[in-house]
Structure 1
Amino acid sequence: MATLLHVVRSAVAPVTRTRTFRAVAPRALPPVERALARLTRGRFQLSAVLVPSLVLHTTGARSGEPRDTYLMYTPLGAGRLVVAGTSFARDRHPAWTYNLLAHPDAAVSIRGRRYPVRATLVEDDAERDAVWERIEAQWPGYRAYERDSGRVVRLFRLERAGRPV
């Protein structure tokens, strides 16, 4: 099964790096993910068909309001995972990264189970390279988003900070 999934990811990944996908996906995918979340009580995400996916629950950096973002994640083991602020290779960092910088205590929902987490920005170059290797083992070519965006993509390590809520 893991080999089949890797083959499918390798076939689909190049499509996600096309101009068309990058133009359409940021507008089309979030409403679809929200609708599926409502229908399944958060137990199913479309993106989870291909990659581990979560809902990141943050506090708005400026507004202080709760914010939810659907993201791919890469497991690091021992209750840790990493998320990348690629934003479909846009030239600006996604809002959720500002939220984590301002309010690192957040939560994630994975298959309908919510966990508190603490976010840490991955800044060390050697650690960033190691994290990117793990991400690309899961989704081939994902770092191309960083190169194409013209910015250093923010990587956040999320560590579980308690029991499911």
Structure 2
Amino acid sequence: MSSSFNTSAGTRGARQPGRAAKWFNKWMMKRIRRKGGAKLRGLNALVLTTTGRKSGEPRSTPVGWFPGKSGGWLIVASAAGAPKNPAWYLNLAAHPDQVQVELGGRKVYVDAEQLQGAEREEAWRQITTAAPRFAQYQVNTDREIPVIRLTPRSAR
């Protein structure tokens, strides 16, 4: 699989989420795992586990998701409109074939692909219609906010 991850950091944007976000993320992941799913700032949430690009260690974080085609998920690397991409995006870019999601009490291995062109635009319209704050995040930064499609693997 060729890498589709090509969004570099911007030069302006909102503040990157801080230390309080780490505590909140741990709490949120426990909630998602305990309940088999949860809402994160009004969005359906899943636990995304990537492989650290530097450490090689598993890294988990809660992310909001939107329904993708064929039973997959769309996630957005917004970092609330910060100029830098979130760490999980950089991990996906380094290891797009070493990703899993936890949702509904199960773990699913997925392939990750950054959407480009017309596919991204269609997904972006879906996302910003369902959650208008993402449109504001895009206004806040000069990087194009990545939209990632997670597709379940049939066998692993």
Same fold (TM over 0.5): yes
Residue 67 (structure 1) aligned with residue 43 (structure 2): no
Q: Which residue identity does 2:84 align to in structure 1?
A: R
CA RMSD of aligned residues (A): 2.6
Report the secondary structure of 1:62's partner residue: coil
Q: Percent identity?
A: 29
How many Å separate the matches in 2 of 1:50 and 1:70? 13
2:4 paired residue number: none
Ranges in structure 2 where 5+ consecutive residues have no aligned partner: 1-13
Q: How does 1:96-107 map to 2 (within 5 A)?
A: 96-105=88-97, 106-107=99-100
**Runs of 4+ deviating beyond 4 Å:** 22-26
Answer yes or no: is the 8 Å Cα contact 1:26–1:88 preserved in 2.
no
How many Å separate the matches in 2 of 1:132 and 1:88? 15
1:88 paired residue number: 80
Alpha-carbon spacing, 1:113–1:90, altered in 2? closer, same or farther (3 Å): same
Residue 54 (structure 1) aligned with residue 64 (structure 2): no
How many Å separate the matches in 2 of 1:158 and 1:83? 8
Alpha-carbon spacing, 1:104–1:36, altered in 2? closer, same or farther (3 Å): closer
How many Å separate the matches in 2 of 1:104 and 1:50? 27
Q: TM-score, normalised by structure 2?
A: 0.78
The number of residue pairs the alignment matches comes to 142
Ranges in structure 1 where 5+ consecutive residues have no aligned partner: 1-21
Q: TM-score, normalised by structure 1?
A: 0.74
CA radius of gyration, larger in: 1
1:114 paired residue number: 107
Which structure shows the higher helix fraction?
1
